[in-house]
Structure 1
Amino acid sequence: MEKSKFDIMTKTANQIRYYRTAAGLSQKSLAAMAGMDPAFLGHIERCLKCPTVDTLNKISTALNITLSELLDFDHPKQETRRGEALKKITALLNQLTPEEADDLAEIVFKIVQFKKH
């Protein structure tokens, strides 16, 4: 494999892993959210497979980031307020029963809908 292609694959894999772990997601959960096989995602993160643009778009959508954010290799990563908030929410969700998590999701949905109007 040519060096430049491998460099891009490595940078892409690092980006996916960074955003996945920042969101508190396992490979299995991200793969499910993106509608892909967990083993394939693992291959992408280990630079064994080269993802298509469509696959990268599915991954970025599941991570709730834009495709351009996923492919922005030139800027160092900085925890954003949104990322920090997501970590806090994820930590709190992990402490809830499934029923409580459903209730909380409904409350958040209603707040977001209210703020949009």
Structure 2
Amino acid sequence: MVHYYCLLGGLMKTSKRLIGARIKSLRETKKMTQERLAEKIDINTVYLSNIERGMANPTLDMLIRISDALEADMWELFDCRHEVSPKELREMLKKLANELDEDKLKNAFRVLKVLAR
């Protein structure tokens, strides 16, 4: 496992996914099902599942309701340090690589080549 820190500024798609994963982690720590959390915040489980998978863009109001229901401080939702499997990390790298222009992609390849030694 690798620790990964979310970047709230740049990588919005990745950040949404990580914030969703953090919500899921907090929910599981509280031994709460998706059904129970969804009920507490008055949404359906499909929408909560989409939030946890980074497929939905929750409003600030929704994030406040989630943090209240999880009895967590709001900042904890954005504390995205969590364990990421090597498979997930490879997928994130692929997505990032697809967003790079040709010059940046070449530079990234050079850096990875050095790290792989």
| Structure-2-length-normalised TM-score | 0.58
Task: Return the offset for 1:16.
Answer: 0.4
User: Residue 4 of structure 1 aligns with which residue?
Assistant: 11
- Decide which structure has greater helix share: 1
SS of equivalent to 1:49: coil
Of residues 53, 69, 72, the one that matches 2:60 is 53
User: Residue 93 of structure 1 aligns with which residue?
Assistant: none
Of residues 19, 23, 35, the one that matches 1:16 is 23
Of residues 29, 35, 40, the one that matches 1:28 is 35
Query: In 2, are the aligned partners of 1:30 and 1:62 still within 8 Å (CA)?
Result: yes
Structure 2 distance, partners of 1:44, 1:59, is 11
The aligned runs of 1:37-48 (5 Å cut-off) are: 37-48=44-55
**AA matched with 2:26:** Y
Query: In 2, are the aligned partners of 1:27 and 1:38 still within 8 Å (CA)?
Result: yes
State the Cα RMSD in Å.
1.8
**AA matched with 2:51:** I
The aligned runs of 1:64-75 (5 Å cut-off) are: 64-74=71-81
Task: Return the offset for 1:49.
Answer: 0.8
Structure 2's unaligned 5+ residue stretches are 1-9, 84-117
Structure 1's unaligned 5+ residue stretches are 78-117
- Decide which structure has greater strand share: 2
Give the ranges of 4+ consecutive aligned residues of structure 1 lying more than 2 Å apart after TM superposition.
none
**AA matched with 2:42:** G
Structure 2 distance, partners of 1:27, 1:62, is 12
Higher relative contact order, chain-length normalized (CA < 8 Å, sep 6+): 2
- Work out the number of aligned pairs and report it: 74
Task: Return the offset for 1:39.
Answer: 1.1
